[in-house]
Chains A and B, each alone.
Chain A
Amino acid sequence: MVLYIVVALLALAAVAFLLGRGRALAVVGGEVARLHSLPAQHGSYLALCAAGPALLALAAWAIFSPGVETSIIKSRFAADLAGLGVPQVEAFIRDAKAIAFGGLVGFTDATKEAAAAAYRSIHTTSVVLIGSFCAALAVAGFLYGYRRIAPAFRARHVVERVVRIVLIACSVVAILTTIGIVMSLILESLLFFAEVPFFKFLFGLHWSPQSAFTGAGAEAGAVNQDIFGAIPLFVGTLLITFIAMIVAAPIGLMSAIYLSDYASKSVRAVAKPVLEILAGIPTVVYGFFAALTVAPFFRGMGESLGLDVASESAIAAGVVMGIMIIPFVSSLSDDVINAVPQSLRDGSAGLGATKSETIRKVVLPAALPGIVSAMLLAVSRAIGETMIVVMAAGLAANLSINPLEAVTTITVQIATLLVGDQEFDSAKTRAAFALGLVLFCATLALNVIALRVVKKYREQYD
């Protein structure tokens, strides 16, 4: 129904455009030069007048009407809902909506059927209301705009101002996204920290929110605060990140050096796409590779050496994550190394240094801030990576720095806490948002530090 209104408004806009253009031409008798603005601009102006306010009203309605409808239902059925807790009321509303508008219905009874009927009638009324309101707005806007079309009317200015406002609105989406992320993480985390003290979460040594002890689910009264200690997750994340960087940093840096200073054109033509492909492979593929090939490989190798390697060892996930990050490190380092001016290399060569001496003693020190920043960005990337660790690292939170054991990470826990859950009001699911907040802050801090390092320590050579 709403879709029909939108389509009708868009059709009206198209018609208004044609009419406005025709009207503009008509008022000057075809002499376009007498118009301040082009006929098409008058047309666009009329289209905006006709459809714009109505579309805005419709958007506002779409955002606010579900909440209003629900509160009307709640007040009408207040007597039936009086004795129920918040989750039950939500379930009631969900079922009533599902009965009314189609969907998966949990179970139904007479009250719910009545609520559904009320829902349907309220919704119909509300659609009819907004439909007629939109029609009125459209007609009024059209008449207003049509009257204003005149040779001296500055349609272009109006249209261009609207265009500019739309452009600004689009660039504000980025800010809104950030605000949305920060707000949703902080709000849910605050609810979580109301139940589990901040320091117990941040410095606790025991993590098992999935366990069936008190406090794991919504139904339990008191939350067991001792099962939300996140230190094992932080240690596991850092361990896997460390292993990944041991793989990625030398390989990425050396390949960047080789490609920028040694490789012939033909080698570069092959090697660059190889690295790009490595960067373009989805992380779920790396995860499958880690679980299927690399983890058994390390396990087999450990067995032949007499070591006990867990089947979801940190080293398997870490190494594969390292492979994933190689192209990231390499392309960032490549940019930095290429930015070192040729004159430095020439000067060093003129003093009799070999190429490798030039790179090690001149180019790398000059590029150091950039390389450090590249490494920090790579670390931030590794910390936030999810699929590889979800598929190849463990679920149990062992507090261990042994790379042969199974450890778990922040991202794994976020994923396992939220996947498959329908209710999002237990301490368990809120813990995932608290972890998300930690993750967000950590990656943000690393990025800011990376930028700072470059800004502060970069030498201006040119």
Chain B
Amino acid sequence: MTDIASTIGGGADRASGIHTNDAAKARLRGRYAAELRFKWLGAGAVALAGLFLLLLLSTIVTQALPAFRMNYLTVPVELSAENIDPANPAGANYLGIVQDALAAKFPDVTGRQERRLLRGIVSSGSGVFLRQAIENDPSMLGKTVEFSAPLDDFSDLYLKGLLAKSAEPQALNGVTVSAATGDVDLTFADDTVARLARGAGATDDTGVLRLTSSAASLFVDVAGGTVKLTEVGPGNTAKGIVLEALSAPVSAPAGAVLRTITTPEASRKISDREIVWLDNLKAQGAVESRWNTIFLFTGASREAELAGIWGAVVGSFLTLIVTLAVAFPIGVSAAIYLEEFAPKNRITTLIEVNINNLAAVPSIVFGLLGLAVFLNLFGMPRSAPVVGGLVLALMTLPIIIIASRASLRAVPPSIREAALGIGASKVQTVFHHVLPLAMPGIMTGTILGMAHALGETAPLLMIGMVAFIVDIPGGFTDPATILPVQIFMWADFPEPAFQQKTSAAILILLGFLVIMNAVAVILRKRFERRW
């Protein structure tokens, strides 16, 4: 037995064998470690790709969700004959009526600037909605009715909690206020307010904490009104401005609530006054959050709260119809010719090389082609879906041809031979037998090509589809824009509300793409045959 063992060990001492000594073991360990590292590197690469996707989608989805809701303000509007002349309803100032109704809720607001600020809380498009409501229901005229107006984009964003952060409200005891309006002096029972003011970033001016516009805003809700603190100290006293009138001066110490808006007034796009009004309206129950039908069913607008996606969706639809109508028949015919009829000669090789090269041409070059040929040479209209569709058709043509050829090639020769054998002509063979069998694959390729065309932006910028178009396009030659270009345009607008709209539009675009791809997958799964 010992002999055999020593033979297996290579006839030498185990510890000194070239494959078994410690150095060899270390080498092997090193190789296995390298193997493991390599494997994890690969897994890491895949995980990283997945992470990027997750990051991208989650960014867009979290941004987009608020845009699908919208806050409406319900106010009683007076549709008296004095506001709207029944003989000439078109001449009335509908926006003014809505704004007057809002101003009536805050009778204390008298200053010119404040009044303008207050009237800006509702969207400048509210008048249009009111007029439409009256046109739909003329019996409203002459009465005072409850009307829901969309809020201005900044007010809307504030109510969605996207413009300013606020801290938990705190209860205060023993608060007195010297007057009911204007500049007031306050006293407190303890130093809670001083502490909070220090934490809020107030500047210390020899014992007096000044709350400037670069510090957080502190509001004291007391006696049915709101005081904004401007100075805290010395001691447990403070100075403030009344933003919302108190019912009476508070001389006997009373309970109050301290609210903190932690985002400084200087770095947010909504003022303290507007915040107080909006919170007040919300507390009254006059503000209501609804599905944002304006976004889904109207055309573009410069006002963020009135901008909708419908015009772009219709434009995309019209463009894709043109693309499909041009690219599908031409692409399939070219594929049939190249795959079934073409002799192997220099011209057909040239066509094939050409198609492969076209598939690799940058999309913006197709835009240059569209500009030079369709617009400048043929004089076709700018910004029209028909031109966009043609450009996209030329761009998707190679995709459709390549997919159709692959699909035709997958039909086994026995089918063709059988058809030819019973006397069908070549054309009959192809159109009656081969093409129907290849159709599912061709359709899949076409849908994928269309999905690609739907997401394409650059060539359409060249042919002027980047124009600002309010009307919903009604035909193939009307000026139109399309979804990706709308996204591109909105992404450039500085208003924060447009960022949410951009994300929401992206979500809608991705939704269409998912649907198209799903249809392609289903087609492939259901009809694809393996021969």
Q: Which of A's residues lie within 8 Å of B, judged by CB?
A: 63, 66, 103, 156, 159-160, 163-164, 166-168, 170-175, 177-178, 180-181, 184-185, 187-188, 250-255, 257-259, 262-263, 267, 271, 274-275, 277-278, 280-289, 291-293, 323, 326-327, 330, 354-357, 359-360, 377, 380-381, 383-387, 390-391, 411, 414-415, 418-420, 422, 424, 432-433, 436, 439-440, 443-444, 447
Asked if B87 is an interface residue, CB under 8 A from chain A, the answer is no
The answer on a CB contact under 8 Å between B32 and A387 is no
- Selected contact of B457 from candidates A267, A377, A387, CB within 8 Å: A387
Cα distance A278–B331 when bound, in Å?
26
State the CA gap A219–B55 with chains docked (Å): 49
Instruction: Specify which chain B residues have a CB less than 8 angstroms from the CB of A166 in the assembled complex.
Output: 333
Distance to closest chain A CB from B396 (angstroms)? 11
B368 partner, pick from A175, A178, A414, A443, beta carbons under 8 A:
A414
Q: Which of B59, B360, B401 contacts A447 (CB 8 A)?
A: B360
Q: In the complex, A278 Cα to B382 Cα: how many Å?
A: 32
Taking a contact as CB atoms closer than 8 A, the residue among A159, A163, A274, A391 that contacts B488 in the complex is A391
A173 interface neighbour in B368, B397, B487, Cβ under 8 Å: B397
Main secondary structure on A side of the interface with B? helix
Across the interface, do B362 and A254 meet the contact criterion of CB distance under 8 Å? no
Select A282's contact among B49, B59, B342, B456, beta carbons within 8 Å. B456
Task: Say whether A271 contacts B46, CB under 8 Å.
Answer: yes
State A390–B363 Cα separation when bound (angstroms).
Answer: 14
How long is the Cα–Cα vector from A380 to B361 in the complex, in angstroms?
9
Q: Report Cα–Cα, A399/B488, bound state, in Å.
A: 27
Q: How far is the CA of A447 from the CA of B367 in the complex (A)?
A: 20
Taking a contact as CB atoms closer than 8 A, the residue among A180, A267, A274, A420 that contacts B466 in the complex is A420
A432 to B241, CA, bound (A): 59
B458 A387 Cβ-Cβ under 8 A: yes
Nearest CB in chain B to that of A165: its residue: B337
How long is the Cα–Cα vector from A253 to B366 in the complex, in angstroms? 30
A258 with B363, Cβ < 8 A, contacts A160-B426, A354-B34 known:
no
Contacting residues, chain A, for B379 (C-beta < 8 A) = 66
Complex formed: what's the CA distance from A287 to B455 in Å? 12
Nearest residue (CB) in A for B366 is A181
Does B256 make an interface contact (CB < 8 A)?
no
User: Does B373 reach chain A (CB closer than 8 Å)?
Assistant: yes
Shortest distance between the CB of B389 and any CB in chain A (Å): 15
- A285, B56: Cβ atoms under 8 Å? yes
Q: B42: which A residues are within 8 A, CB to CB?
A: 254-255, 257-259, 262
A415 & B458 in contact (Cβ 8 Å cutoff): yes
Minimal Cβ-Cβ distance residue in B for A156: B425
Tell whether A255 pairs with B369 under 8 Å between CB atoms, given A356-B34, A415-B461, A443-B360.
Answer: no
In the complex, the answer to whether A170 meets B334 with C-beta atoms within 8 Å is yes
| Pairwise interchain contact A174-B401, C-beta atoms closer than 8 A | yes
A432 to B350, CA, bound (A): 29
Instruction: Decide if B59 touches A254 in the complex (CB within 8 Å).
Output: no
Contact status B334-A167, CB under 8 Å: yes
- A439 contacts across to B, CB distance below 8 A: 362, 364-365
Q: Jot down 9 A-B pairs with beta carbons below 8 A, ordered by A.
A: A174-B351, A175-B354, A262-B43, A280-B513, A288-B60, A356-B38, A386-B363, A387-B484, A444-B357
> Are B39 and A258 in touch, CB under 8 angstroms?
yes
Whether A281 pairs with B363 at a CB distance below 8 angstroms is no
Interfacial residues of chain B within 302-332, with CB under 8 A of chain A in the complex: 329-331
Cβ of B366: which chain A residues have Cβ within 8 Å of it? 181
